Amino acid sequence: MVGLIFDSLRDPGTPVTGQRQVPGAATAARAPAPVPGREAGTVRFESVSKTYRSAAGPVQALDRVDLAIPAGAIFGIIGRSGAGKSSLLRTVNRLEAPSSGRVLVDGAPIDALDTDGLVALRRRIGMIFQHFNLLAAKTVRQNVALPLTVAGVPRRAIGPRVAEALRLVGLEDKADTYPSRLSGGQKQRVGIARALVSDPEILLCDEATSALDPETTLAILDLLRDINRRLGITIILITHEMSVIREICSDVVVLEGGRVVETGPVWRVFGAPEHPTTRALLEPLTRGLPPDLAARLQPLPAPGGWAILRITCSGRAAPDLSGLAGAGAPVRLLQAGIERIQGHAVGRMLVAVPAEDPGAEARLRAVGDVERVGYVPADAAVG
């Protein structure tokens, strides 16, 4: 994995994918210039597919992905293991070449870049990794300077740029420390500084917080958010942690089997997920039925029993609970969680109403979308 640090800067004549390119071929292109009228940092996938060859046969990692990422966004890519997240991310800096389709950066296609063009592209795209990929024999200062050294930047120019990158991540006092003396969060800050030292317009984050504890994760996310705000860098991150997406991202795409199954603003996708994959991924955050009720849940009502309803709400205004208080019949609140994402109130409530009350669902729609989960008998504990 350490080699990936160099792959973004040195001669890419032999790609990581193992597919040999011919440097200087007649169809090759030099470094793409941003398209007039486009902001630096835009990424677009046009019908991108990727198939790997293995002893067991071809493996379809990506299947006709169409997606646009605007400049300055913090964009999340989520999905189950093997959904194609890493493959999609690595097509942005051509560590993976699509089998078909094309990727555009700043509005310019990158599929036909020659050696010099790829080097120039990769210097505009920083990358941070799950396991830091620091060189143990080099100090923090030397690790951060590594991309500039490999790129042949004059030594007199390297010092100030490294110092500024370390200041940005709050590690000025650790410049001469070796990685073995750093905490996990400090190591990731070094990785972020190394990615920023080349002044990129796009930052790729490959499970950047997965190896960190929850408190350190929040600190790193705060740092990334601050970098995005201050520098305007487009951040594209992949993660299996839904809480990370909720905490930092503006938009998200859900992949399943290499295909896009849902995409949109985080508040909408989290507040009203449409695809079963999205709902399954969100289950740890939304909480299921209390175990005692789940054990007694029935598909049909029983005399004197309770109907269990799930109410989902998402919108700029907080949910109006007068529909609960004025229902005209008992409404018992079993569990609830409301939070604000991107200025929108997003939450779910689980309530119990008398099974014989035919108008309960209609009245409760004033609060949010209502789903009938099932029924529990009259003697079930719902209070």
Q: How many CB atoms lie within 10 A of CB 318?
A: 12
Q: Are strands 57-69 and 74-79 parallel, antiparallel or unpaired?
A: unpaired
CATH H-level superfamily of 3-281? P-loop containing nucleotide triphosphate hydrolases (3.40.50.300)
Topology adopted by domain 291-376: Alpha-Beta Plaits (3.30.70)
Give every CB contact of residue 90 below 8 A, 6+ residues apart in sequence.
Answer: 16, 96
Q: Along the 383 residues of the chain, how does pLDDT read in single tens digits?
A: 444 444 444 443 333 333 333 333 333 333 444 444 456 899 999 999 999 998 888 999 999 999 999 999 999 999 998 999 999 999 999 999 999 999 999 999 999 889 889 988 998 999 998 888 899 999 999 999 999 998 889 999 999 999 999 999 999 999 999 999 999 999 999 999 999 999 999 999 998 888 888 889 999 999 999 999 999 999 999 988 888 998 899 999 999 999 999 999 998 898 888 899 998 888 776 666 777 778 888 888 888 888 988 888 777 667 777 666 655 678 888 888 777 777 777 878 888 888 888 788 888 887 888 888 888 887 765 65
The domain spans of the chain are 3-281, 291-376
Q: How far is CA 28 from CA 77, 88, 109, in A?
A: 30, 23, 12
